[in-house]
Structure 1
Amino acid sequence: MKSRASIKGHPIHPILVTFPIAFFTGTLVFDVLSILKDNASYRQTADYLELAGLIAAIIAAVPGVIDYFFTVPPASSAKKRATQHGLANVLLLLIFAAAYLLRVKASFSVVIGLESAGFILMGISGWLGGTLVYRNQIGVDPRYAGAGKWNEAYLKDQDKLIEAAVSGELQNDQMKLLHIDGKRIVLAKTAEGYVAFDDRCTHKGGSLAGGMMVCGTVQCPWHGSQFASQTGDVKAGPATKNIHTYETLVKDGKIYLSLSTV
């Protein structure tokens, strides 16, 4: 799914995390060098790097939090992984902060121990973050033939019919993600007309809006499950349960949606 914290489609969080990773790694390296070389200047360099790492980590966390709440699909395996990623980042930030505050007062071996633990945790967090991007495609803006630009809107449940789009807004096989009072629904146009269905693969909770629509079949971007967009029936696994579909109505050049499931 396209990141909500992005610049021209490029997610900001993966760009910014390179700075705390570099700073914290440099901190540990220069602290070790200060012991091996018995050189105070190395330790002073580590002081500056650790402070820079703490500041950079806080800045990088801002777009990360935005993506956690607004990009990662809820009730999905990616949400659980993103939670673990976030908690690991908070913990390693606290560890490096403790090491920074103890640099003068505590034994230097304690500081090195904390920084080593933080470095290992940073590797684990990075592994989780990489999985979120490369496997769960968080922050990935899909570009396939006919997909069009990422289309997303926040609407209110009006009890009966909800105005979801205007005629001509979507081309064939193009999708639009709708947030309706916390519920995520995909509106799409097929050769047979407009369809609407839940934005959640029944396998692992992947966002179908971030997948691909071809000839009325929507494919989950995570593991390739396919569903008939008109009926919600599973056409290919690993998913075994159908997705919910919703009624649509075209009237006076507008496309309306009813939240009553078909």
Structure 2
Amino acid sequence: MTRKKHLKTAVCMTVATGLLFVGFSANAQESANDDLNSCVKHEQIVSTAKGVGIGALTGLTAMLVSHKKDDAVKGALIGAAVGGVAGFATAYYTAVNTCFKKNPAWLPESDIQRTKDYDNVKRAIKYKPAQGIITRAESVEVGGTVKADGQANVSSSFILMTPDGAEAPVTIERKLYSVSDDKETEVPFPGRTSEQHTFEPGEQKDTVHIPIPHDAKAGSVYRVQFSVAAADRPPSVASQTFTVKE
């Protein structure tokens, strides 16, 4: 077979395998909102297809440069699979983020509840008015067992104290990281990343639900980070890691 025919065969098989791979991997995390779910599936397929194309081209090129023509097709297929798998998890959260940007009305409303009043917190932390405005992230907790195709239910508690007990604006930020071999990669947070609200002083609890990709492997580790800031002071940060179970 000529080199031209080798190339043609490799490219055709790469495209076919890429489409097959995408089809098997397109079961995105189901959403309560059917429109959002459909959008995420579409965006995830597009991102995966791009990853497959890049991986396939890399594998094919490597084989041809090394003059191993008989392995050209095998190299293309391996490249396609590696490119698709490597980019799929990040593609999922990117897809969610893209869909929210295209449809801002789909963003879930914040669920922030006051859990302790001013006097209770004042006694607990021995707060004095001379300390000025205080904001502090107290804790981040992930409830229940986190599984693929499920959700991580994250509750973050924080306090706000003001000298006269008056309300004050607070900036909240949320971040999500994928953790592997002690290395962290920030991925798009699936929801409102930054918000500013005016709160009564006391303790508040922020609750969010982070979707977990359908194909997330058991043992996958994530870290969710929560921070609060007020009165031009440095943010107070708290975080928690969680692991995907079987």
After TM superposition, the score normalised by the length of structure 2 is 0.31
Ranked by relative contact order (alpha carbons within 8 Å, sequence separation 6 or more), the top structure is 2
